[in-house]
Amino acid sequence: MSPTADILFWMVMAVTIASAALVVVAKKILHAAFALSICFLGVAAIYVFLHADFIAAVQLIVYVGGIIVLIMFAVMFSSHTQEAGGEGGRKVLALGAGAATAAMLFTAIMLIISRLQQPLHEANAFATQAYQHTAGITGQDLAAETPRLGLGHILMGEYMLPFEVASILVLAALVGAVVIVRKETRG
């Protein structure tokens, strides 16, 4: 990557992590929702850095365009209930338990990653090689070779059944969501 892309990558990573931290620590739940949308934008940018442009577009449409709107709706709907400040002891306990569990799991993940040292080097060498392989190709060729086409073929071929099952699942989930909300308003 060029030096500009390097700087951009670090900026995206910093913004993503900072906004994710804000999601966790924000006092008002609405601020957390806004921070979450910034975090989703950052993850979409990370997908672009990973050469997964279609996933990045889906991330933008589904998360930033859909899930954030749903979350905002739920927050607005119940916004007059402030984050209850009472029972300070339990709050500290919850924060401590959360921090301890998160730190433990993060340590475990970093331990596993550090065990991966050899495969990591091989993977990076492989990716660099693949990148250099595409270095001489013009933009038009790259557009023709981009993974989007292969993704469509794979989704309509090898992963046809999971794809259809997922569509039925989404339909069932949406119908179920409507039923859950309606049940209380009827009586």
Partner 1 sequence: MDAFANLPVLADSLLGGGPDNLFNYLLLAGILFALGVFAMISRRNAVGILMGVELILNASGINFVAFSRFNGHHLEGQVFALFIIVLAAAEAAVALALVLAVFQTHRSIELDQVDEMKL
Contacts to partner 1 from residues 5-44, by CB under 8 A: 5-6, 9-10, 13, 16-17, 20-21, 23-24, 29, 32-33, 36, 39-40, 43
In the range 90-129, which residues lie near partner 1 by CB under 8 A?
A: 90, 94-95, 97-99, 101-103, 105-107, 109-111, 113-115, 117, 120-121, 123-124, 126-128
DSSP tag of 78: T
Q: What is the CA radius of gyration of the chain?
A: 22
When the beta carbons of 109 and 144 are compared against partner 1, the nearer one is 109
**Measured distance CA(44)–CA(38) in Å, rounded:** 10
Instruction: Compute the least distance from the CB of residue 139 to partner 1, in Å.
Output: 18
**Measured distance CA(35)–CA(167) in Å, rounded:** 29
CA angle 102, 104, 110 (to 5 degrees): 100
**Measured distance CA(37)–CA(20) in Å, rounded:** 9
Of 50, 142, 143, 160, the one binding partner 1 (CB under 8 A) is: 50
In the range 133-152, which residues lie near partner 1 by CB under 8 A?
A: 147, 150-151
